[in-house]
Amino acid sequence: MNQVILVGRLCADPEITQDQEKKRSVITLAVNRSFKNVDGVYETDFIRCVLWNNVAMNTFSYCHTGDVVGIKGRLQTRSYEDEAKTRKFVMEVIAEKVTFLSSQKNTENSSQE
């Protein structure tokens, strides 16, 4: 079974690209680890996630840098050759569902009240 569930903050505003009939968005999710390192600091992983069609459009419309989202999806690996003809491998999460958990705007409004 290939299933991934992540909760983290968006590193940048989502952007949409379109080719033929499909809409695509690539986002980076900052996910804090649940334990501290030897220096007593929580480390963060930055995970590349690919969103397609309606999931991409909704995320583009409603989410911004710093918003907390939950992503359910699957891991996928792909490879390509760079200019030096070296094979590179990329592992990314293909999102099937994105849940909007909180936004920076809502957090700022509630802290001002």
Mean pLDDT (the chain, rounded): 90
pTM summary value: 0.82
- What's the rounded Cα separation, in Å, for the pair 72 and 102? 16
Whole-angstrom CA distances from 42 to 11, 38, 45, 101 are 17, 10, 10, 21
Number of residues assigned to the chain: 113
Interval 56-89: pLDDT, tens: 999 999 999 999 999 999 999 999 999 889 999 9
Q: If DSSP codes are grouped into helix, strand and coil, which group holds residue 108? A: helix
CATH of the domain at 62: 2.40.50.140
Q: What is the pLDDT of residue 110?
A: 44
Number of domains in the chain: 1
- pLDDT band, residue 21 (cuts 50/70/90): confident
Q: Which range marks the domain in which residue 89 is found?
A: 4-112
